[in-house]
Structure 1
Amino acid sequence: MTAAAAIETAKPVTRSDIRPDAAPAAGINPGRVGVLLVNLGTPDSADARGVRVYLREFLSDPRVIENQGLFWKLVLNGIILQVRPSRKARDYQKIWNTEKNESPLKTITRAQSEKLAAAIADHEHVVVDWAMRYGNPSIAARIAALTAQGCDRLLVVPLYPQYSAATSATVCDEVFRVLAGMRAQPTVRITPPYYVDAEYIDALAVSIDAHLKTLPFEPELILASFHGMPRKYIDKGDPYQAQCVATMEALRRRMGLDASKLMLTFQSRFGFDEWLQPYTDKTIEQLAKDGVRRIVVVTPGFSADCLETLEEIAKENAEIFEHNGGEQFSAIPCLNDSDPGMDVIRQLVLRELQGWI
């Protein structure tokens, strides 16, 4: 047979012909797929030093504080990093996982990673890991660990249902910063935001209903609190607010509630700029003053409980409500590593791995 004839009769090689467990040709390692779950971050310790290190990294990110000029550097280093760490350390100590000596966010994100690995264990060439955008384990360290295990493809999963430049985009920034220093880069995919995915909306509704059944009271309304951001970021084109609104509209339809019974607010203001409104703390205060006595709060923008949910909502805002006349307050846990929460992550990952597994 001539070379030309051999080419014409050769069977095309497809992906299905290549088995991940097949013996590699000489000098070629078998490819594996890495899945990296990424959450915002946490101090390594619940003391002023640990919080200072974390805040310096977080607040030095131009995605978080866009104006990183001389004035901001003076404020950050001369005031914020001198005063805020001690106060925030006391808040972390209220929620700290003393058994593991780590924040709940780290405990939960690790559990999400381990449960995802178990849920997709039939895909033997997939390796699941987790990282924090700020703090440890770092994105750089975990990408290095995954590539060391033979992962030549990487799915990065920012654990934020709604996209914003200050969360999802900064994960991408760091991933590509790490890749810029690598000669042998893995092929990378980034999961999209999942703010109206049916599995996510259903998981929220199921978790809310399950929590309400455990309460000794019936709330007059449910308040959904999302993390806030400066209004000017939205004016510059960030889609975060629109995606929060879309989440709420979908959740209201799923639960059969209107805006008066399932309210949207924004928490965690910082600095002197105008932030997205209505503000969670001001709304809770006014509700109590207006005679509302029983409420529950859910935090749909957080995939795992953290300082903003366990301390700011469940403690600070509960005190605001009670101080102004409210009587019964309950904070609904995030989806965390619950069965509904893991269904969301698992289905998102399997969808975005199509063609790789």
Structure 2
Amino acid sequence: MAELHVGLGKNSYTILIENGLRHRLPEEIKKIYSGKKIAIITDHNVNAHYGSQLEVGLQAAGYETLVVALPPGEQTKDFQMLPLIYEQLLDFQLNRSELIIALGGGVIGDLAGFAAASFLRGVPFIQIPTSLLAQVDSSIGGKVGVDLARGKNLVGAFNQPKKVFIDPEMLNTLSDHFFRDGLGEVIKYGCIKDAAFFSFLQTLHTREEMMAHIEKILYTCCDIKRRVVEEDEKDTGERMLLNFGHTIAHALETYTNYAKYSHGEAVAIGMVAITRLSEKKGFTKLGTAAAIEAMAKQVGLPTELHMEEIDLDSLLAIMTLDKKNLDDHLKVILLKEIGNSYVQDETIAFFDDLENM
């Protein structure tokens, strides 16, 4: 078992990474929660694989349980979904001293975490991430929220979980598409903080090879995010580096109504596009974009923005709503080279050349 401590004062918590951990979850939850009721928020796909096992185990441990199973997909992470969740929590009579579990991928983690932050002004919650993207990224750091029609993650909060339980074996039930999706975020960590990790990823060509080293991959990504979050919990400086490629990615997801690209695919496209731009402007070592593009293609991720299919003005309008747009300056995350990232103030005009990428 690998264990990481996220040191945030009174908001500190532990990340546990262990194959087969799902079989011991009731025992582990007993160590941190002595109340009566637990609400499990999940989606239909994850519920079919793991919901019953978790619910039966928790009931055997003496807890009363509620399972809120929602449709899968980014469309579920919608502000209008919250009242439906609140109604079920009210019917269950969950109180502020009890517990919510987020069982699922990034969508469920964000949605359940925000429901926990806002219901009764705050109910404790834990993360049990079941997708690669959630295990390496979104379950850690306390960013929770929902989407609005005009953009992604525009309503949210910082709400740190009480614990994160990661069982790498849960990835065995992921489709190849969503396994690749998570690799977009994995590659990001090498790009922004760890050139040696990026080089290691370049030696892995198949899902089987990735899974043979999955505990190292998970630990490395979680440790990088842990250190960044400890430095900057509320996303005002260092933590912005975690959004490398995301300004373009979030705009692309919104522009295509979350129907064409999954998040990791959009991140891969965004990382390549912004690095091409920054190379052209002289900010980034030549060849960096090509290395990211080759790595993304190696694991089956898309890399082209296809601007002939996109109205640039509409895409830029979405970008202006980005949360990193402060005082008419957008905080743009760039690389000097692989493993060396920084934040730079730019106007939206920085992205005008996307049309020529």
TM normalised by structure 2 equals 0.28
Structure with the higher fraction of residues in helix conformation: 2
TM normalised by structure 1 equals 0.28
Larger radius of gyration: 1
Structure with the higher fraction of residues in strand conformation: 2
